[in-house]
Amino acid sequence: MRYIDCRGLNCPEPVLLTRKALAEEPSAGLDVVVDNETARENVMRFAKNQGREAAWQQEGENYRVTISGQEAGQEAPAQQPEAAAVDADEPVLFIATDQLGTGSSELGLLLMRNFIYTLTHRENLPRAIVLMNAGVKLSLADSAVIEELEEMEEKGVQILVCGTCLDYYQLKEQHKTGTVSNMYDISDLLLEASRVITV
């Protein structure tokens, strides 16, 4: 069983180091030690997307994620989207704020609400929505657009919410909709998209 210490590392380093270790010795099991819940969940999700069994246990203030080895000749499955399949030609929306435009904050909040509301009434929905920095506030239980985001998610729109951003703003407990994600998955989504629109 191999071991890597990812304590004190920022997203997406724990996932990148896990990926490297599994690629170097696919048949070997791996223990990954991290020091926060977001890193733990990111490593767990990555391992499962690779077709590995993964479990975690708490050790003091840290978490040990144990990932199974891969049998000889076994190939990792293609990663499946966490939401229903959507047209790959549809754009990905990158939202890094809870306000639309600059100037009045009150107006900006209203415009963002109107924009998200309008999206739910369009025939062509975005392929995915990425919420980063203050944009993660849109995914909270008390968000003015939480119902609209949940409706779009039910219709197959993938919503990725930056876990590091939730931690920074201390909003993890208030998060309600979308998948808490990491920079590795977010960068994959953005690079694979045919169009990315920054709002």
Same structural domain, 41 and 111? no
Same structural domain, 187 and 97? yes
Give the domain CATH number at 137: 3.40.1260.10
Q: Is residue 178 part of a domain?
A: yes
Q: Is residue 73 part of a domain?
A: no
Q: List CB contacts of 41: < 8 A, sequence separation 6 or more.
A: 163, 180
Q: Give residue 158's domain range.
A: 92-198
Q: Is residue 83 part of a domain?
A: no
Quick one: which of 65, 63, 71 has its CA closest to 28?
A: 71
pLDDT tens digits for range 53-108: 999 999 999 999 999 987 655 555 544 444 334 455 789 999 999 999 999 999 99
Same structural domain, 189 and 98? yes
- Which pLDDT value is given to residue 28? 85
| Euclidean distance between CA atoms 172 and 161, whole angstroms | 10
Task: Tell me the mean pLDDT in the region 3-12.
Answer: 90
Q: Is residue 10 part of a domain?
A: yes
Least confidently predicted of 51-55, 69-73, 138-142, 172-176: 69-73
Predicted TM-score (pTM) of this structure: 0.74
Task: Tell me the mean pLDDT in the region 41-61.
Answer: 91
Q: Is residue 23 part of a domain?
A: yes
Same structural domain, 139 and 194? yes
Candidate ranges 29-38, 66-75, 132-141; pick with highest mean pLDDT? 132-141
End-to-end CA distance of the chain: 45
Q: Is residue 118 part of a domain?
A: yes
pLDDT grade, residue 1 (50/70/90)? confident
- Which pLDDT value is given to residue 26? 84
**How many domains are contained in the chain?**
2
- Which pLDDT value is given to residue 82? 43
pLDDT at 148 over 90: yes
